[in-house]
């Protein structure tokens, strides 16, 4: 009988690191596993990540930011570009730990003419010059749309994206520029199911609709805040 092929030590190490990072995200309360969650889309899943909780523990965020910075330490970086305000705390931590001492700026997401757009606050434009080396930082990458739009924006200024660092990415995403290195602390897809075909429903596991309820509750209060 032949022995099972040995796993590449680098792959084993990456798997161990990913487990540690997942455990850290679990401790922030952001990552829910072994659950039966109703998603806003109406689909069901066993795992869920609450984006807003990801960077609530400063020491964890600093540690995770340092891991991303270490990965890109070999490349000179002039600017860390946060994909939005949500990834700004992580972006700060990455920039703080990177040996090039880059500046930190953020993009703004919005819609115009029914399409998703990203832009930079005007004050940041002078920092994004031709030749500027940019490391883009995102918390969770699910579709890659924002990253692609931001890469286009950087290129329009004659600057260059040296890489993308993120906490979590769904493995199915593809960047438009396939040569851009992407590094994520966790690379994992949630399996999602139609309610009719959900194995957890079949097993009779109670459905957790907490996250969808929270979203619908938030809407009226944010309308109220806008009025104030
Ligand atoms: Zn279900």
Neighbours of ion ligand 1 (CB under 5 A): 44, 198, 200-201
Q: Which pLDDT band holds residue 216 (cuts at 50, 70, 90)?
A: low
Predicted confidence (pLDDT) at residue 228 exceeds the cutoff of 60? no
- Predicted confidence at residue 223, as pLDDT, reads 37
Tell me the whole-structure pTM to 2 decimals: 0.83
Q: Quick check: is 228 in a domain? A: no
What mean pLDDT comes out for the span 46-75? 93
Predicted confidence (pLDDT) at residue 178 exceeds the cutoff of 80? no
**How much of the chain, in percent, has pLDDT values that exceed 90?**
54
Predicted confidence (pLDDT) at residue 206 exceeds the cutoff of 90? yes
- Predicted confidence at residue 2, as pLDDT, reads 58
The count of domains in the chain is 1
Element (H, E) at 37: strand 37-38
- How far is the centre of ligand 1, averaged over its atoms, from the C-alpha of 46 (Å)? 8
| Mean confidence (pLDDT) of the chain | 87
Q: Quick check: is 62 in a domain? A: yes
Predicted confidence (pLDDT) at residue 218 exceeds the cutoff of 80? no
- Predicted confidence at residue 49, as pLDDT, reads 87
- How far is the centre of ligand 1, averaged over its atoms, from the C-alpha of 189 (Å)? 17
Q: Quick check: is 226 in a domain? A: no
Q: Quick check: is 126 in a domain? A: yes
**Whole-angstrom distance, CA of residue 115 vs CA of residue 45:** 28
Burial zone of 168 (CB within 10 Å; 0-12 exposed, 13-18 middle, 19+ buried):
buried
- Predicted confidence at residue 132, as pLDDT, reads 97
CATH of the domain at 203: 3.40.50.2020
What is the extent of the structural domain holding 112? Answer: 9-214
- Predicted confidence at residue 1, as pLDDT, reads 55
Q: Quick check: is 219 in a domain? A: no
- How far is the centre of ligand 1, averaged over its atoms, from the C-alpha of 38 (Å)? 7
- Predicted confidence at residue 224, as pLDDT, reads 34
- How far is the centre of ligand 1, averaged over its atoms, from the C-alpha of 212 (Å)? 14
Please, which contacts does 154-160 make with residues 24 or more away whose CB atoms are closer than 8 Å? 154/81, 154/128, 157/125, 157/128, 157/129, 157/130, 157/132, 158/129, 158/130, 158/131, 159/79, 159/128, 159/129, 159/130, 159/131, 159/132, 159/133, 159/134, 160/131, 160/132, 160/133, 160/134
Predicted confidence (pLDDT) at residue 174 exceeds the cutoff of 80? no
Say which residue the tokens 């994206």 belong to: 161
Predicted confidence (pLDDT) at residue 124 exceeds the cutoff of 90? yes
- How far is the centre of ligand 1, averaged over its atoms, from the C-alpha of 188 (Å)? 20
Concatenated DSSP letters for 10-21?
Answer: HHHHHHHHHHHH
Q: Which pLDDT band holds residue 227 (cuts at 50, 70, 90)?
A: very low
Name which of 2-16, 90-104, 144-158, 189-203 the model is least confident about.
Answer: 2-16
| pLDDT one-digit tens code per residue, 136-165 | 999 988 778 889 999 999 999 999 999 999
Take residue 112 and report the two structure tokens written for it: 């115009």
Q: Within 13 A of 33's CA, how many CA atoms are on the CB side?
A: 8
- How far is the centre of ligand 1, averaged over its atoms, from the C-alpha of 179 (Å)? 38
- How far is the centre of ligand 1, averaged over its atoms, from the C-alpha of 22 (Å)? 23
């Amino acid at each position: 009988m032949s022995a099972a092929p040995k796993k590449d030590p680098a792959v084993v190490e990456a798997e161990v690191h990913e487990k540690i990072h997942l455990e850290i995200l679990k401790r922030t309360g952001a990552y829910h596993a072994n659950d039966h969650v109703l998603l806003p889309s109406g689909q069901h899943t066993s795992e869920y990540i609450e984006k807003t909780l990801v960077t609530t523990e400063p020491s964890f965020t600093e540690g995770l930011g340092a891991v991303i910075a270490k990965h890109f330490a070999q490349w000179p970086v002039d600017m860390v570009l946060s994909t939005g305000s949500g990834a700004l705390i992580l972006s700060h931590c990455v920039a703080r730990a990177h040996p090039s001492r880059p500046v930190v700026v953020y993009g703004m997401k919005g819609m115009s003419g029914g399409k998703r757009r990203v832009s930079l606050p005007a004050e940041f434009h002078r920092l994004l010059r031709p030749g500027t080396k940019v490391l883009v930082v995102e918390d969770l990458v699910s579709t890659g749309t924002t990253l692609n739009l931001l890469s286009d924006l950087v290129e329009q200024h004659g600057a260059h994206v040296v890489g993308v660092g993120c906490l979590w990415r769904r493995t199915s995403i593809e960047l438009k520029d396939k040569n851009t290195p992407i590094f994520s602390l966790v690379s994992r897809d949630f399996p999602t199911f139609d309610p009719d075909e959900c194995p957890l429903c079949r097993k009779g596991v109670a459905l957790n609709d907490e996250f969808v309820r929270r979203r619908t509750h938030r809407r009226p209060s944010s309308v109220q805040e806008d009025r104030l």
